[in-house]
A and B are shown apart, each in its own frame.
Chain A
């Protein structure tokens, strides 16, 4: 059971939050349960960007409940975006592996033991969750969103041949030094950022394993990345196409 502990492996989960008051306690509870069951050594780093809904206050309660060795609060004063939230969180991570996931319950912690198993199985540098393979899938998407997602994924596969099936997902496990290196190299924003991470990882010769995940669209709270998603996605895709 404690194979991970014996080898000195520790997993740092980065949870960026913005207005996730409802979701944060639930995701933390599920994470703790999943890690306790698998017996892995872990810490959860919550990076809240001054959410007006009081996410930080809930985070403080969770820190008291689970202990400040398990729940680390690394808030920032204002909304500075996801990319820098990961960098900020990573600087405080003490694990040798880092797991990045959304705090909105669309990424279920039950897959983390599978990520860990996969990583060990192939000694991978990165393990990426995928909605597009095997038992992977989505819940709560209408036909339009599915078409866009499948279409965008197809075009990306054709143009970039990235060697991973889910480029825009953000549920992944990285070796810490690999994530550090990738963060230095990647400049894109939003969905394109996740895509660039995989493309650069391939360029640098890192290995990538994949685990099918079910993505359940957020139950609580508002969608934050809206607006001109498609246009900025295409722009980013073409930029990567021309430069990598």
Chain B
């Protein structure tokens, strides 16, 4: 099963569950507050997923390491390498 199929499968499952509960005959037996929560459920889910994504990407962005030290170390090593290679007769 491809990843696309997996997604469609889960979405279809959730969708049918929601439809039968919120729109189907079953839903009428539920207490009114329940029905009111259930109706806009897909919209809630969408907003929650959006918020989660933004928060996750934002957090990872803020904690993305800046490798200052690695860059400096590399500069030092480049000097060392040039000297040694020059001594070994490399013509740059």
Binding site for B on A (CB under 8 A): 22, 25-26, 29-30, 58, 61-62, 65, 105, 108, 132, 135-140, 146-147, 150-151, 153-154, 158-161, 214-216, 219, 240-244
Contact = CB atoms under 8 A, between A and B. Distances in A.
Interface secondary structure of A, over-half rule = helix
Interface residues of B, number: 28
Interface of B: 2-4, 7, 53, 56-57, 60-61, 64-68, 70-71, 74, 77-78, 81-82, 84-85, 88-92
Given A26-B78, A135-B65, A241 B4 contact: yes
Contact of A154 (B56, B65, B88): B56
Contact of A244 (B2, B82, B90): B2
A216 B90 contact: no
A29 B71 CA distance: 17
Contacts of A216: 67, 70-71, 74
14 contacts: A26-B77, A62-B90, A65-B85, A65-B89, A65-B90, A137-B66, A138-B66, A150-B61, A154-B53, A154-B56, A160-B3, A214-B67, A216-B74, A219-B78
A25 B64 contact: no
